[in-house]
Amino acid sequence: MRTLILSGKTIKKLLKMEDVLRCVREAFMNETRMNMPPKSYLFLKNGDFRSMPVSYGRYAGIKWVNVHPENKNLPTVMAVFILNDARTGFPLAIMDATTITDFRTGASAGIATDFLSRSDSKVFGIVGCGRQAWTQFLAITLVRNIEKIILYDIKKERAEALKEKIVSHKSVEVVVADDLYLMKECDIISTTTPSTSPVLMIGHIKNGVHINAIGADAPGKQEIDPLILKRARIVVDNMEQAIHSGEINLPIKKGIISERNIYGTLGEIVRGIKIGRKRFEEITLFDSTGLAIQDIAVASFLYERARDAEIGEEVKLIDF
């Protein structure tokens, strides 16, 4: 038996946000049938590694992903996914999961936006215009009819570069903001920064806005003003992970909010156990930490697509 190797270049050819949205939605629908131990962290001087094991149906797997914010000539986030046959343990595939991580994170925000934002949302704001911002744009413009996008980054050249990429892809008005007060126009905002202190403040938003809090994915990270959290309907991707390392981790540790402030999980909403947005004027917030169920849903889809199309390199990895 041979193991399929899928490079980043191959993954990019196979991935489409429409497919990833479907895979991630199915993952939330089937969450209760998946086995996902808590994400574990290995903290080092210049960054950290996360180990994310999961099994679902005939597949099991693990994502090994790093976050090194000080990288200069390498991506800040890199990942590898090992996909195994759950019955025998044989490694079916090893694939670059860096782009998978980008796309499934964007897709989870897209699904949250579909359930939690107002259906008439037209203006979308992105705070932090690095790598993740692109897949936020791809996913959210698929679930809402966005007419205007407002970009902000502390490095304005990053926002300008993202603007150029967006307008070459879609006919939409794009504005690069000099400060965050322009976010008050937005119906939907995604924050994708590595900040350890609040960036988006209560004075930057309007009533009725939906916020995707994406950047806080490790203990000590924080992007959102606690005053927003106290007013918002908060939905998390996973309760345990969010309390440990999501946007709510510091406000809960400091006693600003408690677990009682958490409305529920995105999976509960997708499965119809709880409803999404209740009132037109309420503020909703999705706290995304990233789940292994999303990774295996996308990785198994890509493995089956690549195998059917006879794409990728097969190697005899295990000698027996």
Per-residue pLDDT of the chain (320 residues; tens, 9 = 90+): 999 999 999 999 999 999 999 999 999 999 999 999 988 999 999 999 999 999 999 999 999 999 998 998 998 889 999 999 999 999 999 999 999 999 999 999 999 999 999 999 999 999 999 989 999 999 999 999 999 999 999 999 999 999 999 999 999 999 999 999 999 999 999 999 999 999 999 999 999 999 999 999 888 999 999 999 999 999 999 999 999 999 999 999 999 999 999 999 999 999 999 999 999 999 999 999 999 999 999 999 999 999 999 999 999 999 88
For the question of residue 63 being annotated catalytic, the response is yes
Cβ atoms of residues 39 and 68 within 8 Å = no
Q: Order of strands, edge to edge, in the sheet holding 284-287? A: 173-176, 148-152, 123-127, 188-191, 210-213, 284-287, 233-236, 262-265
In this prediction the pTM is 0.94
3-101+293-315 and 106-290, same CATH topology: no
Domain locations along the chain: 3-101+293-315, 106-290
* pLDDT value at residue 275: 95
* pLDDT value at residue 58: 96
CATH number of 3-101+293-315: 3.30.1780.10
Q: Which CATH number fits domain 106-290: 1.10.3720.10, 1.10.357.10, 3.40.50.720, 3.40.30.10?
A: 3.40.50.720
Which one of 12, 16, 63, 254 is the catalytic residue?
Answer: 63
